[in-house]
A and B are shown apart, each in its own frame.
Chain A
Amino acid sequence: MALSAQQLPRWFNSVKLGSFINATQITKRFPRPGKTWLYSFCAQPQMSSDNYLLQRGFKTYRTSSLWNSSQPTNSSWQENNSAQSTLLPSVNEPSEKTQHIPSFDPELSVEELDDLPPLSPLEPISEQEAIQIVADPPLPPDTFTLRDYVDHSETLQKLVLLGVDLSNIEKHPEAANLLLRLDFEKDIKKILLFLKDLGLEDNQLGPFLSKNYAIFSEDLENLKTRVAYLQSKNFSKADIAQMVRNAPFLLSFSVERLDNRLGFFQKELELSVKKTRDLVVRLPRLLTGSLEPVKENMKVYRLELGFKHNEIQHMVTRIPKMLTANKRKLTETFDYVHNVMSIPHHIIVKFPQVFNTRLFKVKERHLFLTYLGRAQYDPQKPNYISLDKLVSIPDKIFCEEIAKASVQDYEKFLKTL
């Protein structure tokens, strides 16, 4: 006797839960190495038939007693599994799949029900029913890459279209899990709209989210509080948008942390409030990065390189990157500029860009000028060459205007170094 498609759902749902709970019991007793989430119930035939025989007699008792505890066991098992595995255990199934009847194993499910006759797979069914059987290969239950899920998950597709770099996010399994579980309409959209209100353009959302994907786990209220705090400190809306763009993790910092950082920079540099604000807007990385290198660099400038406090203030307002520069490179550059090129402190203060350039560039250009006899860095004397012209202009213009030689001569000279 063939079961029609309409009859199946009525008993199938109860069977589904019953067999699922059995699976829970079995996996608890026989811990399996595979951390598989049972997508289809084809995994069941692997279990020994003995267990089913054992449980069939007590089946009704078990289902009724475990009905109340089914939900907690279900969720705890899920949590256990997700805690164990560092990979992606769950799939955000697209809606169309759940409407189809999942593939069932007729022998197994019907074995449990004594009243209905067994349904054989050799029973003829109509063409239309056959077409409606969905037998797509199942999605892998855990994997190391988001490539396997991107075609089936609307959230991931929309993120890729926005420009988010999934290949970096999949290297962090917790973040990837989070993205898979979120729903675009409910969770992600709220945050995207918030970011747009902040002033980020559409094409900037992608790079922002690629860096700070953890923003989806933040509470929207917290984010709004932080923006309100920044506005209370008289940062304009455009300033805040620029800061968030350049330092995506800014909004993940709590209000008191931001407060501490701003306070630190104000105390350390002893600049006016407006200048501190400009500094932070130019280099918002100062607020999100570690403070130890900044403290070290301030000591280096003062004690090792011998700059006075007002000189440091001037240099830092011109080139904020100096605060986070590498200490070794700073000292090497200063050593060359001050001792080999014999440039005194007050001229270096006027051109702090020299701390922002690569040392080899300064060396090569200086040696070329010395070879030509044009290495004159004293403003009092004629043919003076200022440091910013030495470092900040491209090779072609440097050769033609400053060194008054051709680029080929410069290249030939470089090959003699």
Chain B
Amino acid sequence: MGSASLAQLHGLFAVYKPPGLKWLHLRDTVELQLLKGLNAGKPRAPKQRVRFLLGPREGSEEKELTLTATSVPTLTTHPLVCGPAFTSLKIGVGHRLDVQASGVLVLGVGRGRRLLTDMYNAHLTKNYTVRGILGKATDNFCEDGRLVEKTTYDHVTREKLDRILAVIQGSHQKALVKYSNLDLKSQEAYEMAVRGVIRPMHKSPVLVTGIRCVHFAPPEFVLELQCMHETQQQLRSLVHEVGLELKTTAVCSQVRRTRDGFFTLDDALLRTQWDLHSIQQAIQAAAPRVAAELEKNLRPELDGQQLPGSGQPWDSKGLSSSLAPESRPGH
């Protein structure tokens, strides 16, 4: 029944936003598909109303009239008279993606919208795959922008690129520590720094917690980076800056988000799966993980310090699981 399905439709789920689609249109499309599914369910049972009808009394010889209460069906709740049972749904969007970017986009339905705020306050990192092309510079850092400059790129090697990315990561590391407002002299801060999980829990400028090159075939190269508090245009400008550091120019051809907090590509629903049943299943599958992660991240902080987050840079991932004992009680 429609209302039973609506009762299950509360929580977070992730969709894969294709490039070229505005996030608002995506949210509206998902809402329409969910409404279609809800209205297609079994309609409500028709209501009845009580009428007092005048009729001859039974068991009397004369023609005596009496009022009898009868329940007659009424058309006031018929769907053709009232309209469809569901006309709007409250769906919220998590961290937004701009038109040309693609990737994991978290949506919240009903009571799940509250969890979106919790996710935002957890300040988890996001993974991006950024594809760049050497030799061109445009005004909006994308391939379709107005061409500003063309350069040669034969001198660019993998080592140079890696060196530059390491410099970028180092400078952002300093910023990470600065914006996390930690007292570096404390033991907890030292342990967290060892594990590499320092990150700001309040608003900060864009921070790249990790960046590396996964594919290099000039003129194309692919970077994988972890960041927080970013916009996709800032990532494109980052590609442009990498090109400048390499003494050439670069434009960004693709920005794709592969992970948003604890939602990965595997959880993301494709366009063909944007219907009531798949979304309900996705919400139910993600619910325990969402609850556990949010609880871990939003537990009250001790002495204003940070808690370990799930977005750990991958170069210290192996280290953190083996080296860092659970020294803090109860965590």
Given A157-B75, A414-B16, A416-B256, decide whether A147 and B270 contact each other with a Cβ distance below 8 A. no
- Assuming A131-B65, A163-B80, A166-B80, what are 7 further A-B pairs, CB within 8 angstroms? A131-B54, A131-B67, A147-B76, A150-B78, A164-B80, A167-B79, A395-B272
- Of B18, B65, B75, B79, the residue contacting A150 (CB under 8 A) is B75
Instruction: Report B's interface with A, CB cutoff 8 A.
Output: 16, 18-21, 49, 54, 64-67, 74-76, 78-84, 102, 256, 265, 268, 270-272
* Closest beta carbon of chain B to A165's beta carbon, Å: 5
- Of B65, B81, B268, the residue contacting A147 (CB under 8 A) is B81
Q: Which residue of A lies closest to B266 (CB)?
A: A415
Q: Which residue of A lies closest to B103 (CB)?
A: A415
Instruction: Report A's interface with B, CB cutoff 8 A.
Output: 128, 131-132, 146-148, 150-151, 156-157, 160, 163-168, 360, 364, 395, 411, 414-417
Given A131-B67, A164-B80, A166-B81, decide whether A151 and B18 contact each other with a Cβ distance below 8 A. no
- Per the bound structure, the CA–CA distance linking A368 and B80 in Å amounts to 44
Given A131-B65, A360-B18, A417-B19, decide whether A150 and B76 contact each other with a Cβ distance below 8 A. yes
Given A131-B67, A146-B81, A167-B82, decide whether A151 and B75 contact each other with a Cβ distance below 8 A. yes
A150→B81 contact, CB < 8 A: yes
- Per the bound structure, the CA–CA distance linking A132 and B65 in Å amounts to 8
B270→A411 contact, CB < 8 A: yes
A415→B80 contact, CB < 8 A: no
- List B contacts of A167 (CB < 8 A): 79-84
- Per the bound structure, the CA–CA distance linking A107 and B268 in Å amounts to 75
A167, A414, A415, A417 — most chain B CB neighbours (10 Å): A415
Q: Which residue of A lies closest to B49 (CB)?
A: A151
* Closest beta carbon of chain B to A126's beta carbon, Å: 11
- List B contacts of A416 (CB < 8 A): 256
- Of A131, A132, A160, A168, the residue contacting B75 (CB under 8 A) is A160
- List B contacts of A415 (CB < 8 A): 16, 265, 268, 270
- Of B65, B80, B83, the residue contacting A128 (CB under 8 A) is B65
- Per the bound structure, the CA–CA distance linking A207 and B146 in Å amounts to 51
- Per the bound structure, the CA–CA distance linking A48 and B146 in Å amounts to 79
- Per the bound structure, the CA–CA distance linking A142 and B78 in Å amounts to 21
- List A contacts of B79 (CB < 8 A): 167
Those 8 A-B pairs whose CB atoms lie nearest each other, nearest first? A167-B83, A150-B75, A147-B76, A166-B81, A165-B80, A160-B80, A415-B265, A150-B81
* Closest beta carbon of chain B to A96's beta carbon, Å: 10
- List A contacts of B19 (CB < 8 A): 417
- Per the bound structure, the CA–CA distance linking A314 and B196 in Å amounts to 67
A414→B270 contact, CB < 8 A: yes
- Per the bound structure, the CA–CA distance linking A364 and B78 in Å amounts to 43
Q: Which residue of A lies closest to B72 (CB)?
A: A151
- List B contacts of A131 (CB < 8 A): 54, 65-67
- Of A160, A168, A360, the residue contacting B20 (CB under 8 A) is A360
- Per the bound structure, the CA–CA distance linking A208 and B19 in Å amounts to 40
A-B contact pairs, 7 of them (CB 8 A): A131-B54, A150-B81, A160-B78, A160-B80, A164-B80, A360-B21, A415-B268
Q: Which residue of B lies closest to A167 (CB)?
A: B83
A147, A160, A168 — most chain B CB neighbours (10 Å): A147
Q: Which residue of B lies closest to A151 (CB)?
A: B74
- List B contacts of A146 (CB < 8 A): 81
Q: Which residue of A lies closest to B78 (CB)?
A: A160
- List A contacts of B256 (CB < 8 A): 416-417
- List B contacts of A150 (CB < 8 A): 75-76, 78, 81
- Per the bound structure, the CA–CA distance linking A168 and B84 in Å amounts to 11
- Per the bound structure, the CA–CA distance linking A163 and B79 in Å amounts to 10
- Per the bound structure, the CA–CA distance linking A157 and B18 in Å amounts to 47
- List A contacts of B83 (CB < 8 A): 167-168
- List B contacts of A417 (CB < 8 A): 18-19, 102, 256
Q: Which residue of B lies closest to A206 (CB)?
A: B80
Q: Which residue of A lies closest to B62 (CB)?
A: A128
